[in-house]
A and B are shown apart, each in its own frame.
Chain A
Amino acid sequence: MMQTSPAPRRTLALSNVDAGYGETVILNKLSLTLTEGTTLALLGRNGVGKTTLLATCMGYTRLHGGTVEFLGRNIGQLAINRRSALGLALVPQEREIFKSLTVEENLVVGQRPGKWALQRVYDFFPSLHKRRRSRGDQLSGGEQQMLAVGRALMGNPTFLLLDEPLEGLAPVIVDQLLAGLQRLKTEENMTMLVVEQHAQLAMDFAETTVVLDRGAIVYHGPSRELAASKEKQAQLLGIGGDLGH
């Protein structure tokens, strides 16, 4: 008898979301669904609401309307730490490493039981193992970024939100980090939503791309289609010629 693989589960689902900071609404009637194992690149000009979308998923913003569901549960009014316990993890743009803690302490401070433990994170990012006794404020930008991803993984999430993970990193570090993220995608089947300014790298990494403009989705489709059309990129992202790296 032939076995069929189960249909991928719906993980994160935003439906008609209006959200922002205080009374200011930044996301307008935004709907987006991701299924298990998906990687999605979120692109757009500065100030169009990319970070706000990630913040809304985590619960940092005020939800003015619509629903946010995670694994079938409405999490719109759920506290941030409860969302994290459900399996959502955010790697913030500023990295926000705890400066007075060592690399190892940064990793274990948010550890939750599961398959992700210190050794596994060190396997993914060997340079963190070398620097495990160093304090957070003694790390380079690349090491901090790896630590931010590693710390998120120690919470054993099923869904990673990454806010500009490649920002300000040297090309060699970008390659190392992307290799780690690629392994997460292929070996761990991790669902990921990546906000990134390096449009080309993001589209190479994620199979699906969403472009935001003024808080609304203006493009949603396969990354390769957008990557193949310079004209569309210029129109949607406002950049012509060489895009990022």
Chain B
Amino acid sequence: MQIEEFTDFTDACFNGESASCSCACPFKLDVRSFTEKCQKGRWSSAWKNYRNAVIFPEIVSALCPAPCREHCQRASLGGAVDIPALERAAIEYSGAKKAEHYNIPPKEHSVAVVGAGPAGLSAALNLAQKRYKVTVFDKAPGWGGSLRSHADFARFDEDIALQFAAVEAEFRFNTEISSPSQLSSYDAVYIATGEGGIDFEGEKFFRGGQLTGMSLMEGIAVGAEVSKLVETYLMTGRAGPVENVSYAFCDRTVEHEDTLPEAEIEVRDEESARAEAARCMKCDCDSCMRSCEVLAHFRKKPRSMAREAFSDSQANPPIATQSLVRETYSCTNCGHCRSVCPEKVDVGAMLMLSRANRFEKGTAPAAFHDYWLREMDFSCGEASAFLPPPGSDACKYAFFPGCRLGMDNVGHLKKAYDCLTRSCDGGVGLMLGCCGAPALWAGDMSRLENNFSAIREAWERMGSPTLVFACATCSNMFEEYLPEIKRISLYELMEKASLPRSSSSYPAAVVFDPCSAREDDAMRRSVRALAAQAGSKLKEAEHGCRCCGYGGHIQVPNPSLFEKISSSRAEENAEPYIVYCANCREVFLSRGKECSHILDLYFGPGEDTPTLQKKRENALRLKKELLKEIWNMDFTPESRPWDGVELIIPPEIQASMEKSLISADDIRETLWRAEQSGDKLTGGGYSLASLRKNAATYWVQYSGEGGVYQVAAAYSHRMKWRE
């Protein structure tokens, strides 16, 4: 992969780049660093910081019109920080000031500077610091140019003398340059003769300052750039013209969440200067890192993550190591980072690309997503059914409920389908399947594409109906991968059907929008309308459309972060939640949060979260019952030799199995195979069986016989031993 494939996602991120005040500063003074030093009373360091940016601190502090103040983001929060006062404080409170000295060997080339005004002096000083042989010409009897008549010139004069104290430069005053022939012995010439001053044409002539329309400050500011251009010319024989200062991004602001206004402090002494410096908010964009638990947890910055994702794509384990594995698989892919980013940088999408790359290369830890991919295969295989309405080949609508809703509550899904068939004209087909989100989150793009190909084919066979979605994630996936399919939410159609409400509504509740509904205004609006119709007084969530923790399937790669995110979402609002995502419901119920699916308010109270095994059984029961009741078709789920094994699983072991994503069927198979082959350990009245299956080895300790077994322990590990 190319690095741009990753960095393109994060190029627009401006974390760590200059604040708006610095962008507005002709000298690009790093105001954040400067005020930090002032705040700490490190005046010498602050002065050095300032001097290195502005070249002549006395001149600039006295004459700069301070555009930084106009672009200070404190302006609306108590008043702009008084940077000019802090500059003066740095000059006043710093100790002995010394000129910059660079210990580098002298250079052979000679450079003439015509004009000893601020612009010429700035360029001359920069060139002299690089040890070029610099000669400055001016027709006046001394340096300073237009500043010579200024009331404070004596102070400026001292400043210039100080800055030139550590360099060698020759000054030829009272010398008017009227012809280029006077400069023939110089290798390069910088002309800064001021507004309307003399100018010469030729490759070795560079010009800047007020001669080319720059302001006084800009003329000083470009001095460093002039020295670089002259150096380039001397080394290569060519160089472009001197460009004026750019003020790009000076209007770029960042979010200042929960920042209180603080009034400007009049700088009278050192203490008040430090206090004023402390008002600087050190503006830097960290919106995503502040509010995304994943980025906050890993303390990683978007641009460095993109570089690391690229470098991981080049790593070749076990010879070379990767560095961003846990981060990559801890992202919930909820889109929150993008939603809070002023530049819409999508770190999640970049990490999904990284997951896809790792999957393709075979460096993805298979155990992270193995369970979910098997679930997807089940939902797209045995539990799947694509059927037009009975007696017709085509339909106007087809219901795509997604894999989780029916697993949670067979009755509600059947009622939803019944509601659709009664309220929609033109017949409603049924598409039981999976949208492929587990494949996307695992990075298995070919599984994803194959699934969508099968769906597209079935959809076309059904006469290209509008698909009705109950799950915002499914709807999003279709929008992204099958945009040609028209979509509508179940809730929008239910809203129009004027259904009778159940008695299980909350008097007051928060509608917890799933992260996948962030862009789906219609679905969000319909759910609110249904919840309100059902009698709930609704309050908006503290933070809308945040992931409950389920997204991206981070539960296996980062269980502690999953716990943290899901607990914090459950606790964010005191009121019970009304959700419309089966996964949100499951997550919140597991945290003890009072919570109902919107369908519970119309179709009766929801059930407790089924076990992993029960979910599969529900999916098959749903298919069997719907096929029989609506299409009069028989469906018999596949049978397995271990189906007859009856397990008695104590609740604490069941809970641990759910957390570790070990289904009863995995345990049943492990036990059955051991009983068939006798390949097991025995001791203390127990048997202990193990089975390597896909990415894990399952262990079950049990007692009993004759087809009924009491489970005493069930666990798994990913590592395997060499036989």
Real complex partners, A and B?
Answer: no
